[in-house]
Amino acid sequence: MTMNAAAPQRPVILAVDDDPAVLSAVRGDLRSRYGRHYRVLTAAGGAEAVGTLRQLKVRGDATAVVVSDQRMPGVAGTEVLTAARQLFPGVRTVLLTAYADTEVAIGAINDLHLDYYILKPWDPPEERLFPVIDDLLEDWHANNQPSFALTRVVGSRW
């Protein structure tokens, strides 16, 4: 008798930005580099991102990294990253900021235990985005080993 276990879902990388052009760019960059091994999801604003994170939690999906813009109407990036940490304590967090928001990013490092902030624009991604995400994913994997459920049936063969 052969038992087929369901393959685990790929961990999630969530990108959040209210600017459609920026969101498209970050989604494209992340998918080109990480799409084979991770599910790259996007949210077009802070409220949508928090809703997505809650859905991921309910479904039991592993969330490895959240990359969020800071300046968004309604729910700021720091609020998104706070919600991500509350729902997924091991998640790695990145804040996308403009030069004018570096003080917010530095405060978030101290207050929210932000893992990193990246200034916009992040071109070229091979130098300014991918090394950061690579390090955060490596760290996430080191601290988030998959758990396996084992069922043992005890009894006679017949």
List the domains of the chain with CATH numbers.
12-143 (3.40.50.2300)
pTM of the model: 0.85
Amino acid 2: pLDDT:
41
- Specify the range with the lowest mean pLDDT, choosing from 50-54, 89-93, 102-106, 142-146: 102-106
Cα–Cα distance for residue pair 22/18, rounded to 1 Å: 8
Structure tokens belonging to residue 62: 């592993």
Instruction: Collect all residues with Cβ–Cβ distance below 8 Å to 139 and sequence separation of at least 6.
Output: 92
Q: Are 66 and 93 in contact (CB under 8 A)?
A: yes
Q: Is the pLDDT of residue 101 over 90?
A: no
Going by their DSSP bridges, the two strands 63-69 and 92-97 should be labelled as parallel
Strand order in the sheet with 63-69: 39-43, 12-16, 63-69, 92-97, 116-119
- pLDDT interval class at 4 (50, 70, 90): very low
Structure tokens belonging to residue 147: 């758990």
Instruction: Collect all residues with Cβ–Cβ distance below 8 Å to 111 and sequence separation of at least 6.
Output: none
Q: Is the pLDDT of residue 36 over 80?
A: yes
Cα–Cα distance for residue pair 144/153, rounded to 1 Å: 28
Cα–Cα distance for residue pair 68/120, rounded to 1 Å: 12
- H helices of 3-150, in order, are 20-34, 46-59, 77-87, 102-111, 125-128, 130-143
